[in-house]
Structure 1
Amino acid sequence: MSTLPGENTEAAAQVQASFCGEPLTAEAGSSVAAALLASGQPAWRTTRDGKPRGLFCGIGVCFDCVVEIDGESGQRACMIPLQEGMQIRPSRGPGQEADA
């Protein structure tokens, strides 16, 4: 089988993380937002009135994709590369109770 110039013939490295305790796997170099979308998670936080939010602009301008990563809140999922072992949770805004 022939390959095109620049074509990668090896399988892409995979990164393992978790979202709400569930396994999350994505290709190395993927953003947290891309990994969440690829795993079937179109929304990963809610507004104060319960409306779902996820990826909107994808370039770090809006804050619809904000998540908590390894206990640090306010992280824009579209701007952060997925790293091995990351623990990702929905962002908890004012008045929202922490999960038990």
Structure 2
Amino acid sequence: MFQRLDPGTATAVRLDFEGQSVAAEPGDTVAAALLAAGIGRFRETPVAGSPRAPYCMMGICFDCLIEIDGVPNRQACMVPVADGMKIRRQHGAREVA
């Protein structure tokens, strides 16, 4: 499980993950904040519905795709946290308009 190196640091950023309040530190990525909060499933694959979570943490693998503030297919490992972000798991492929 992921944990912070310095758990005594004051948290200043709050995220909303599917109705659950998640604390984050300024400078965290969305993936790092969710993993530190114990959230390990970010999306499901389109065909089999297999759960996926961050793997590379550097924007290469695309396993951390998530919906952030209503925008699907965001790489959680590349997006810095911002106070009040609304985050949801991504189920399957996004619809094409």
TM-score normalised to the size of structure 1? 0.78
Counterpart of 2:43? 45
Moved over 2 A (4+): 92-96
User: Which structure: larger Rg?
Assistant: 1
| Structure 2 unmatched ranges of 5 or more | 1-8
Tell me how far apart the structure 2 counterparts of residues 93 and 71 of structure 1 sit (CA, whole Å): 15
CA RMSD between the two structures: 1.9
Counterpart of 1:55? 54
| Structure 1 unmatched ranges of 5 or more | 1-10
> Residue 20 in 1 paired to residue 14 in 2?
no
Q: Percent identity over the alignment? A: 45
TM-score normalised to the size of structure 2? 0.80
- CA 45–22 in structure 1, closer or farther in 2 if over 3 Å, else same: same
Spell out the pairing of 1:1-100 with structure 2 (5 A cutoff): 11-48=9-46, 49-94=48-93
Report the count of equivalent residues: 87
Tell me how far apart the structure 2 counterparts of residues 68 and 16 of structure 1 sit (CA, whole Å): 16
